[in-house]
Amino acid sequence: MNESADAWLVCPRCHAGCRDRKLGAREFLICSRCGEELKGTGGMGAMQCACAFSATALVLTLLANVYPVLSFDVAGNSQDNLIFTGVEGLWSQGYRGIASLVFFSAIAAPALYLSVVFFVSACCCLGWRLRSAIPMLRLAETLESWNLIPVFAVACVVSVVKLDTLGQVTWEAGAFWMALLAVFTLLTIQFFNKRHAMVVLQRP
Ligand SMILES: [Zn+2]
């Protein structure tokens, strides 16, 4: 709904006139001539949040992968389990397809997605109009649905309930980092506005 028929905004960059209108959540108004953001609720502030959250999540990805997530004690034999231990176990048992899928969706895709989001959002925040950022943005769109860290975190909790009947399971430091990683991954997805990033990167 238009707020008023004669309410106009003037672009601070190219001085073109733009009709003002009421915006919904995560919508923004851009200058049709130069692409400058004139008004918006999900604009550059959200992009800065996405940049900060993706950088934090990248550090957490490293911590979640180098510390064991849980230790499993059965009949006196204790084993520490990293995220990668599961991939290794499946591979050595001959489940190579599943091992590759787990490696891709629990390690490779989340790390790549977060790196790409960090790069694109940093380009937007710093005002770098890098043409290479546009294919990276498309890659982020493709990888978003393959970033299964939050699902992996929930699956770990469910598997511990089951494993507890076979032996003693103890949560290790990696579980804490993985839970935090799941939270920061969800925050990154929530704040990273792909449509806004595309508009910012395509500004002349
Ligand atoms: Zn303009």
pLDDT digits (tens, 9 = 90+) for 52-80: 999 999 999 999 999 998 888 887 778 88
**Are residue 89 and residue 9 in the same domain, yes or no?**
no
- Dist. CA 33 → ligand 1 center (Å): 5
Residue-level pLDDT, tens digit, the chain, 204 residues: 444 456 888 888 888 888 888 877 667 788 888 777 777 755 678 889 999 999 999 999 999 999 998 888 887 778 888 888 889 989 999 999 999 999 999 899 999 999 999 999 999 888 887 878 889 999 998 998 888 888 888 888 888 888 888 888 888 898 999 999 999 999 999 889 887 788 778 776
- Dist. CA 38 → ligand 1 center (Å): 8
- Dist. CA 47 → ligand 1 center (Å): 20
Counting beta carbons within 10 angstroms of the beta carbon of residue 42, is it exposed (0 to 12), middle (13 to 18) or buried (19 or more)?
A: middle
Residue 2 pLDDT: 45
**Are residue 25 and residue 107 in the same domain, yes or no?**
no
CA–CA distance, 152 with 83 (Å, rounded to integer)? 10
Instruction: Tell me the residue range of the domain where 5 lies.
Output: 1-41
- Dist. CA 36 → ligand 1 center (Å): 5
Query: Crossing angle for the helix pair 109-126 and 133-144, nearest 10 degrees?
Result: 140
**Are residue 164 and residue 191 in the same domain, yes or no?**
yes
**Are residue 67 and residue 56 in the same domain, yes or no?**
yes
- Dist. CA 72 → ligand 1 center (Å): 61
**Are residue 100 and residue 21 in the same domain, yes or no?**
no
Which runs of consecutive H residues, i.e. helices, occur in 34-108?
44-66, 83-92, 96-103
Q: Report which residue type is found at 57.
A: A
CA-wise closest residue to 136 among 67, 44, 54? 54
**Are residue 22 and residue 59 in the same domain, yes or no?**
no
**Are residue 109 and residue 167 in the same domain, yes or no?**
yes
Q: Distance of CA 76 to CAs 57, 68, 72, 110, Å?
A: 36, 19, 10, 35
**Are residue 36 and residue 56 in the same domain, yes or no?**
no
Q: Structurally, how many domains does the chain consist of? A: 2
pTM: 0.78
- Dist. CA 195 → ligand 1 center (Å): 18
**Are residue 32 and residue 98 in the same domain, yes or no?**
no
**Are residue 109 and residue 191 in the same domain, yes or no?**
yes
**Are residue 121 and residue 104 in the same domain, yes or no?**
yes
- Dist. CA 22 → ligand 1 center (Å): 19
DSSP state letter for 24: -
- Dist. CA 40 → ligand 1 center (Å): 15
